[in-house]
Amino acid sequence: MIISLFGYHQSGKTCLFEILSQRKIEGHQLTSGQRHEIPRAVCQVPDPRLDLLSSLYPERKKVQVHLEIEDFPGLASGDIPTSQYLAQLRKAEALVHVVRGFRDPTIIHPRGKINPVDDIRCLTEELILSDLVMVNGRLEKLEKDLRKIKDPEAQKEKELLEKLRPLLEQGSPIREYHLTASEEKMLRGFCFLSLKPILHVINLDEQDLASLPNPELLLPGLAPEIPVLAFCGRIEKELLELEEEERQIFMGSYGLSETTPGRFFRKLYEIMELINFYTIGKDEVRAWAVKKNTPAVKAAGEIHTDIEKGFIRAEVIPLVELVKHGSWQKAREAGLLRLEGKDYQVQDGDVIYFRFAQ
Ligand SMILES: Nc1nc2c(ncn2[C@@H]2O[C@H](COP(=O)(O)OP(=O)(O)OP(=O)(O)O)[C@@H](O)[C@H]2O)c(=O)[nH]1
Ligand SMILES: [Mg+2]
């Protein structure tokens, strides 16, 4: 799963990238113009429940969910980004728009003023516009083809795109249109940007640190359903340099109870509608991320296609129940393991053992 960090020039994208990946980026890599490739890093998703489970099996390796993040170059102004930029952005599973909130007058904002709500509005419009361009192009082609030859599939696609077009023209993202499963499938190849989950992350000024838990107060006029999160890049970057003990003291002095990665990934899970399930293997205790409502057989496929193909049954217990009983064996003896079939919808926090035929 690839998550792309993008936004206007010098908003703090690389800073967030470093904080999430716990990796320092060398100075020369910071200059957008010189980059040929978009830097990518694997992030480990903090998971207190996995820590608990892992404490029952201290000799086994703990494996957190890994997500890949990409650090896009900054956008220079409100112009539509190049098609190459957009094509790369379309590969992402979710978008993270890093928004300038800090005021520092020595760092010039490409739009000339610090106005996070306006930045969110403008970039949202850009994404919608880029989808509209695609829809118009495709409709033109479909209309031409359908004049030559009747094709029921192409006709259906045309009808769906004709429903989406006015929505985009009014400035609404495709996300707001309730797509059926077959419609979603029909659109998959387009990788529409306004259909992707998007999180706006505001890089706050140190003076605004008190607004960290409720950034919406600093964003008057922003629709309440737009997901936002705040972080203070400058402080968090300093935290990266510290040892654990010093870090706790430093955080305490700013009244911070948690660093950004925990809050970021929780919010990202929410907007991407992800949940975690867990497995206890011979050598490792591991967390896996799947979309909500994933059937057990598909969750098995996340681990290995052989387990999906040979799926027999899933033995399931909520992680908290398992931890209460101390081990898988004891939970089994207490009759707490449920046997579930292929269609069982995996729940957040399930610990699962998949029985399968090889
Ligand atoms: N005052 C202040 N400066 C910050 C903060 N976060 C980042 N900066 C500075 O802003 C500049 C840009 O930060 P980056 O993280 O490189 O921003 P970016 O969005 O990756 O920039 P481009 O990739 O060039 O678009 C750097 O000089 C940072 O030191 C902050 O919270 N406060
Ligand atoms: Mg950068």
| pLDDT tens sequence across 139-178 | 999 999 999 999 999 999 999 999 999 999 999 999 999 9
List, for residues 180-216, the tens digit of each pLDDT value. 999 999 999 999 999 999 999 999 999 999 899 999 9
**The pLDDT of residue 34:** 47
Architecture of domain 2-46+65-115+196-271 in this structure: 3-Layer(aba) Sandwich (3.40)
How high is the pLDDT of residue 30? Answer: 46
- Written as six digits, the tokens of 76 are 């220079």
Closest CA to 355 of 295, 312, 317: 312
Ramachandran region, residue 7 (left: φ > 0; alpha: ψ -120 to 50; beta: rest) = left
Q: Which ligand is nearest to the CA of 75?
A: 1
pLDDT tens digit string along 256-313? 989 999 999 999 999 999 999 999 999 999 999 999 999 999 999 999 999 999 999 9
Q: Distance (Å, rounded) from C-alpha 318 to C-alpha 205?
A: 41
Q: Which of 11, 13, 15 to mutate to test the pocket of ligand 1 (most atoms within 8 A of CB)?
A: 15
Task: Annotate 111-134 with b (16+ C-beta within 10 A) or e (fewer).
Answer: beebbbbebbbebbebbbbbbbeb
| Nearest atom (ligand 1) to Cα of 103 | 1
Q: Taking 70 as the threshold, does the pLDDT of residue 27 lie above it? A: no
* CA atoms 328, 67, 177, 136: torsion sign: negative
pLDDT of 342 reads 97
CA-nearest residue, atom 1 of ligand 1: 104
Q: From the CA of 119, which ligand is nearest? A: 1
User: In the CATH hierarchy, which fold is given to the domain comprising 274-356?
Assistant: Ubiquitin-like (UB roll) (3.10.20)
Nearest to 230 by CA among 205, 194, 196: 205
Query: Which residue's CA is minimally distant from atom 14 of ligand 1?
Result: 12
* Structure-derived torsion over alpha carbons of residues 148, 154, 159, 163, reported in degrees to the nearest 10: -120
Candidate of 6, 14, 18, 108 to mutate for ligand 1, largest count of ligand atoms within 8 Å of Cβ: 14
**What CATH number has the domain spanning 124-191?**
1.10.150.300
Pocket of ligand 1 (CB under 6 A): 9-15, 30, 32, 73-74, 98, 102, 104, 107, 203, 232-234
Task: State pLDDT tens for residues 114-129.
Answer: 999 999 999 999 999 9
Q: How many whole angstroms from its chain centre is CA 137?
A: 29
- pTM of the predicted model, to two decimals? 0.93
| pLDDT of amino acid 35 | 47
Q: What is 108-157 written as a DSSP string?
A: --TTSS--HHHHHHHHHHHHHHHHHHHHHHHHHHHHHHHHHS--HHHHHH
The CA 78 to ligand 1 mean position distance, Å, reads: 19
**Residues 208, 209, 210, 214, Cα dihedral to 10°:** 90
Q: Residue ranges of the domains in the chain?
A: 2-46+65-115+196-271, 124-191, 274-356
Ligand 1 center to 100 CA (angstroms):
9
